[in-house]
Amino acid sequence: MSKRPIYYDTETTGVRPDKDRIVEIAAYDPVRGKTFHSLINPGSPIPKEASAIHHISDEMVQDAPSFTEVGKQFIEFCREEVVLIAHNNDAFDQPFLENEYQRNELTLPGWPYIDSLKFSRKYRPDLPRHSLQHLREYHGIEANNAHRALDDVIILHQVFSLMIDDLTMETIIELMNQKETLRHMPFGKHRGVPIKDIPPGYVRWLHENGALDKSDNAELKEAFAVLGMLPT
């Protein structure tokens, strides 16, 4: 049975998961046709610069529940075999979730995640930008209230559905877990040059001097090997 996608988004008091707090979380389950949304009282004032982005004020969250309560409700919403999808998940939303659950002594389920931003960058390198709003414009999707969590997850579902076509969630997870072969020389006098264009003499010199046996250069050695460029 294929995993059920849950599109989610968080709004926060800042950009540091170890220091800042979630003030809003929303999710959309397109299979069940259900949404989840809650403001959260972070227990501290919301900085003006954060409010300027998501327009959530201290007054709006003063009577909102704590993350302890909302976190339990979110787990219930994401029950069974699901995969969580967020735009910039790996660098933002997932770290915030992990820190909030740990901070509130709640057990975070071992959900698999998909970062739609990374997917876009990997499989649509032809696009000049990969922000959610740019992808929305590219696909001709009507604008909504950007930077509010529930509006963003609805847009994300529409955008990502068009991007992945008929791929299953399991296939996407597998694709995102595949390690890409290094394509350009990462250092030295040929830095930035496509691996396939590196002079054989330079590859031989790296090999004979043990540079390719260093752990930091394992990916480079693999790239040379794939192209059949390593000396025999």
Q: Catalytic residue at 87?
A: no
Phi, psi of 5 (to 5 degrees): -75, 140
| Sheet with 4-12, side-by-side order of all strands | 34-39, 22-29, 4-12, 82-86, 113-115
Q: Are 87 and 156 in contact (CB under 8 A)?
A: yes
Tokens 């264009």 -> residue: 197
Q: Of the listed 37, 147, 184, 207, which one is catalytic? A: 147
Q: Give which of 11, 71, 30 is closest to 169, Cα–Cα.
A: 30
* 212: CB partners within 8 A, 6+ apart: 206, 220, 221, 224, 230
Q: Give which of 78, 79, 62, 49 is closest to 23, Cα–Cα.
A: 62
Residues acting as catalytic residues: 147
